Amino acid sequence: MNTDTFRTSIGRVAQNSPLGEVQRAFEALTCQPSPLALDCRQLPPELGLPEQHVPLDELRDLLLDRATSYAARDAVWSLLCTAAQQWGRHWILAATGIALPGLRRAAKRLCAGYRGEMPTWNPKSSPGSSRR
């Protein structure tokens, strides 16, 4: 599935879904030459995480890896939430982008079997939109 589409269980596609917008914004935060990165040196070394700044896309992959302990995942999420509270919108988007695989799974389960009309979504008129 493309990141900018959302398929219902009957195959209809809604372009520019909210999750697609999050994906595109997350990709912008993670692009070179200076991707946003979380300083994992703040975490205890015994968690087995890299002791360096970890770019967000790599961090998401690390959190999805079954070899990563729940303690390490919890510590990273705690650090991400603190960053979002302290530093604002880029880090809120970072946390949302890292959560995106789980959000997509939840959306898929919620929409399974839905046969109604697909709502239209306009990112320019959504609450909190920075495109106004």
Residues in the chain: 132
The answer to whether residue 120 is domain-embedded is no
CA distances from 105 to 52, 101, 122 (A): 30, 6, 22
Q: Report the predicted TM-score, pTM, of the whole model to 2 decimal places.
A: 0.73
**What integer pLDDT is reported at residue 90 of this predicted model?**
94
AA letter at 36: L
The answer to whether residue 55 is domain-embedded is yes
What is the SS3 assignment for 15? strand
Counting the structural domains of the chain, the total is 1
The answer to whether residue 132 is domain-embedded is no
User: Of 41, 107, 125, 103, which Cα lies nearest the Cα of 76?
Assistant: 41
Containing structural domain, residue 77 = 5-110
What is the SS3 assignment for 14? strand
**What integer pLDDT is reported at residue 113 of this predicted model?**
78
Block mean pLDDT (10 aa), the chain, length 132: 41 61 91 93 96 96 96 97 94 95 88 73 58 41
**What integer pLDDT is reported at residue 73 of this predicted model?**
97
**What integer pLDDT is reported at residue 115 of this predicted model?**
75
